[in-house]
Amino acid sequence: MSDPRAGDSRSGESDTGLPPLPPVEVVRPGLWSVPVPIPNNPLRYVLVYLFETPDGAYLVDAGWNTDEAYETLVAGVETAGFAISDVRGVVVTHIHPDHYGLAGRVREASGAWVALHPADAALIEDRYDEPSDLLERIAVMLRRDGAPEEEIAELRDASMPIRSWVWAVPPDVMVNDGDKAEIPGWDVSVIWTPGHSPGHICLYEASNRLMLSGDHVLPRITPNISFHPQAGADPLGDFLMSLDKVAAFDADEVLPAHEHRFVDLQGRVSELKKHHSERFDEVVDAIQSGKDTTWEIASAMTWSRPWEQIRGWMRRAATGETLAHLNYLRNQGILVERVGEPSRWAVSDVQHRA
């Protein structure tokens, strides 16, 4: 992690026994990093970035809509010399709760505009409002994956609590690929990087050669790229193309939404592409060993913990990630899918002949 350069540090251990959050700190003159806690999540925090301007403060992402997260964000904004009412805009990298959840609450407190890419803005009502048949569509997908019927209800409902952690608001500003973010005094360009979500964006600040990478490129972990009813036709294909897109930028430092800042953007992109190449090999090996449903293939792959030890949301995310790899390989002509309930996967005859 880059050396802390300024700001207050929350010292001592938290009530949970976990290490304290990183400090609020200056990244460059006028640009701050504000860690905001994520409840009950191993990621622990999202890094909100604050741009100083003569007009007020502008945020990139906001955090989960919990009182603890909001109070921490308010304190971080105050450390940077502003009140929450001084926030003029919130650029949201994507609509996952740890990034978008507090945007509406900040807007309520300050009148700030909220900006999103149109591809994510189009998903808000289906994702966060009632009534929606999204959960039923997830159940249909899980049956197609070959998930055991006795687990489908648990897997389908695993994400239900996140709706209470999002203050869902429509964006005031739509940002598209190549747009300039309206942050006075800063040269911030929008880069559309679909994959982790259809409307995920990164931001490039040209005057300091900084890449604000959201969840697209993280220093140590790989973002979850899942196929699900809101993911688009080929999320992993989108993600891999988006990696090449950001690698074309000259960045002295990368400012991700999780973990810590890092250098060598191109090197990290190469590592992520290698990771997915190895996952492709795992998928093909699992199929050749006799696994043929998404669920069976997922159970044979390597995860942070053994398959038997992961449940609920993590198991659904692992299945979705496996399906994203299967769909990508099908689109490349390497696999074929016999659609059904469940679908069955096989290596294509062309690959066998090769």
Mind listing the pLDDT tens digit for each residue in 217-271? 999 999 999 999 999 999 999 999 999 999 999 999 999 999 999 999 999 999 9
pLDDT at 161 over 90: no
3-class state of residue 163 by DSSP: helix
Find, among 22, 45, 48, the residue nearest to 34 by Cα. Answer: 48
Q: What percent of the chain has pLDDT over 90?
A: 87
* Confidence at residue 138, expressed as pLDDT on a 0 to 100 scale: 94
Residue ranges of domains in the chain: 25-129+160-264
CB atoms < 10 A from the CB of 239, how many? 23
* Confidence at residue 18, expressed as pLDDT on a 0 to 100 scale: 67
CA torsion, ordered 73, 74, 76, 77, to nearest 10 deg: 120
Confidence band, pLDDT 50/70/90 cuts, at residue 350? low
> Cα(203)–Cα(193) distance, rounded to whole angstroms?
10
Give pTM, 2 decimals: 0.92
The two structure tokens encoding residue 244: 């090449």
3-class state of residue 31 by DSSP: strand
> Cα(276)–Cα(281) distance, rounded to whole angstroms?
9
Q: How far is CA 2 from CA 26, 157, 261, 267, in A?
A: 11, 39, 6, 17
> Cα(147)–Cα(295) distance, rounded to whole angstroms?
6
CA 160 to chain centre: 18
On whether the CB atoms of residues 251 and 265 are closer than 8 A, the answer is: yes
Domain boundaries 25-129+160-264, corresponding CATH code = 3.60.15.10
Confidence band, pLDDT 50/70/90 cuts, at residue 17? low
Average pLDDT over residues 87-107: 97
* Confidence at residue 8, expressed as pLDDT on a 0 to 100 scale: 24
Could you read off the pLDDT of 33-79 as tens digits, one per residue?
999 999 888 899 999 999 999 999 999 999 999 999 999 999 999 99
HEC secondary structure over 235-285: HHHHHHHHHHHHHCCCCCEEEECCCCCECCHHHHHHHHHHHHHHHHHHHHH
> Cα(148)–Cα(298) distance, rounded to whole angstroms?
13
> Cα(152)–Cα(322) distance, rounded to whole angstroms?
17
pLDDT at 10 over 90: no
Give the count of alpha carbons within 13 A of 243, CB side only. Answer: 22
Mean pLDDT of the chain: 92
Confidence band, pLDDT 50/70/90 cuts, at residue 160? low
